[in-house]
Amino acid sequence: MNGTLMKRLLVSTALALVVGALLITAYHRQYFAAAQAQSTDFLFAARAGEQSQTTVIVGIDQRSYRELLPTYGPLVNWPRTLYAQALEALRAAGARVVVLDIFFDAAKPDDPHLIAAMQQMGNVIAPLEAQGPKTLHPRPGVAQEFEVFVSPAAAIRSAAVAEGTVNVTTDRDTVIRSLPLLLEAKGQVHPALALATVARYVRRPAVLDADATDETAYGAGRTIPLIDNGRMLINFLGPPSSPERGGAFAILPFVDLLNGSFSPDVVRDKIVLLGLTIRGVDEFATPTTAETRMWGVEVQANIVETILGQRYLVPSSAPATSLLVCAAALIGTWLAALLRPIRAAMGLLGLLLLYLLAGGILFDQGTLLNLIYPPAALALGFAVSQIYRLLFEQAQQRTMRDVMARYLSPSVSQWVLNRPERLTLGGETRTMTAFFCDLRGFTTLSQAMEPQALVALLNDYMSAMTEIVFRHDGVLDKYIGDEIMAFWNAPMDQPDHAARACATALDMVQRLHELRAQWKERGNPQLDLGIGINTGPMVVGNMGSRDRLAYTVLGDAVNIASRLQGVNKDYGTRVLVSEATMKAAGGSFTYRYLDRVQVKGRTEPLAVYEVVSYRNQLDPETTAMLELYAKGIELYHAGQWTDASDLFLRLLASHPGDGPSALYLRRSREFAVTPPPPDWNGVTILKTK
């Protein structure tokens, strides 16, 4: 792993820890508790509704009210004999447990009929309502203490086999999601109506089996998980039911029960809840409601089904949620650190969807994942890490890019920025190509021109030539006065490094022609250049002192390139390369053999070649000239000085500015007069650099 990536991951990890700590603190202090409660509502809507097989509702609905109104008047005036008749019908049909979700709180003359029916039924559960709220969670497992329990008339209450509280809990958004399983008033603890119902249905001798704890209640032969303040989450079977649309619960109209126009199979061996199902009366919002609210009696039916089927919903534990928050924050920051923004954003979206999918799967298993804090940690971790990269790392990279742009081409700069450790500290030995370009006549020119004009001319020249180096992905090593030093094949591997250097040289020559035309228009003198190129093993790396480093190349092969640049003056050429460079550059160029020379500082001679042009740009005239030149060189090395002189003289007549032909003409004439010694090997020893 490279240094920059490691640093990025370390910073991202630190950011993840900060994000995780902040969100875990918010989680434990129950910030956004309402949002967390609401976040799980969609899971009910996404789940297919289920059908109750045990619980049935007898609803005092609009039709029942309408049909009974002419005879009995408003609902509050209905005689208790109607309810007694309903209980008798349920007993005859074989209902197992009947739950009254209606308060008969005042004694009436016809109560004996209802009491007798309840006693004959033998399995009627009566409601209680806790009123006058006091202390929350006064003891383990008890949700709240109240002033008093309001119950039906004493005689009716005594006829019931059990009783339970009908209180439910509405959250801040008025949605019912839970109920208090145990409530207390005046030292007495009563269970919820649904818990008493289930205990009677499964024939338990008592509703409560043991004392509750903060996390668990024991009743009806079941271990029931509690959330904060002794509440049990309700696992709703589906959206609100109705006699017309159907739903999770079969709803039998009260009047059909009285008329006997129902199938006994609907209620046989079932739990039957009797309550109001009139629109606008006793209705509540639940996680499964949308436009239509749910009747209170159906809320109680859902509670019964939750306990009876042990379909409990349990939020993920605090340690597990905290761990998820930390992991999500870490993943979010690492996504931003390791991937490019678009891929990271897609990964973030994918992980969020995956987390929601996991939440849905676990919801079906009874576990509620926290859908606020872990996703928030994932998103926030991603955001802060991305902001860090934009504000700090990208700014740093822009600074680095601006600096490197002075030395490297854009493509090489980006390559280095991606993995800066490629700029190896210290040095490494590589086969590379070194390049030196010198502006001829500049020293003399500097003495004749005004400083401002001289600097402007030099800047034009350097800018143009440096742009060509970068175009061919070369590394600008340094400017040495009017000389340009560059190299290829480091830090980035460039198998065609020699060819790139040769192409750079030819493009520089072409650009010089254009500059000379501009200089001529301005009245500036005509300058020329000389380029030396050599390929071989070199040491490359960051070199210098502890306070100042330079990425440069060293070695004998570098010195040869520098010497070849100076050799151009002797031969009247512009671009000279060694034999090693010619072989490495391949056949894309046309070369002319010049000489075997022994440069200053070396004992071994080396063959030197001129790069004439790109091979595909060679014109017939130049081809003919090169062929004639090659014959002249053969005659020269064969010691046929006179014939060689004649041939080079012919060449100069057609190409008067050809420096190598002029040099060999002079040498041939000198050797014709004074031949070299017998051990002459054709090597030219150069005395100057």
- Tell me the angle at which helices 497-522 and 451-471 cross, rounded to the nearest 10 degrees: 150
Q: What average pLDDT does this structure show over 433-462? A: 85
Mean pLDDT of the chain: 89
Segment 136-167, tens digit of pLDDT: 989 999 999 999 999 999 999 999 999 999 99
Q: Pairing relation of β-strands 216-219 and 208-210?
A: antiparallel
Matching residue, tokens 């408003």: 74
74: Cβ–Cβ under 8 A, 6 or more apart, which residues? none
Quick one: pLDDT at residue 571? 94
283: Cβ–Cβ under 8 A, 6 or more apart, which residues? 293, 294, 295, 296
β-pair partners for 486: 435, 476
**SS3 of residue 683 by DSSP:** strand
Q: How far from chain centre, in Å, is Cα 614?
A: 48
CA distance 150 to 165: 9
- Tell me the angle at which helices 296-308 and 193-201 cross, rounded to the nearest 10 degrees: 50
Quick one: pLDDT at residue 552? 87
Examine the pLDDT at 406 and tell me if it is beyond 60: no
β-pair partners for 528: 440
The pair of structure tokens assigned to 514 is 């254009």
Q: Pairing relation of β-strands 683-685 and 589-598?
A: parallel
Examine the pLDDT at 427 and tell me if it is beyond 80: no
Quick one: pLDDT at residue 425? 53
| Banded model confidence at residue 209, pLDDT cuts 50, 70, 90 | very high
Quick one: pLDDT at residue 524? 78
How many DSSP H helices and E strands does the chain contain?
23, 28
Examine the pLDDT at 419 and tell me if it is beyond 90: no
CA distance 224 to 207: 13
The pair of structure tokens assigned to 360 is 């849905």
Examine the pLDDT at 411 and tell me if it is beyond 60: no
CA distance 306 to 238: 12
CA distance 590 to 689: 26
**Which segments within 441-548 are labelled E, that is strand?**
475-480, 483-488, 528-544
CA distance 92 to 267: 10
**SS3 of residue 73 by DSSP:** coil
CA distance 560 to 578: 8
Segment 70-111, tens digit of pLDDT: 999 999 899 999 999 999 999 999 999 999 999 998 889 999
Matching residue, tokens 């894309």: 588
Quick one: pLDDT at residue 173? 87
Segment 537-591, tens digit of pLDDT: 999 987 776 666 677 899 999 999 999 999 999 999 999 999 999 999 999 999 9
Examine the pLDDT at 248 and tell me if it is beyond 80: yes
Segment 303-316, tens digit of pLDDT: 999 999 999 999 99
Segment 468-491, tens digit of pLDDT: 999 999 988 898 888 999 999 988
Q: Which of 30-39, 260-269, 324-333, 641-650 has the lowest mean pLDDT?
A: 30-39
Examine the pLDDT at 1 and tell me if it is beyond 60: no
Reported pTM: 0.63
Q: Which of 159-168, 215-224, 523-532 has the lowest mean pLDDT?
A: 523-532
| Banded model confidence at residue 30, pLDDT cuts 50, 70, 90 | confident
Q: Decide which of 244 and 235 is more confident.
A: 235
| Banded model confidence at residue 4, pLDDT cuts 50, 70, 90 | low
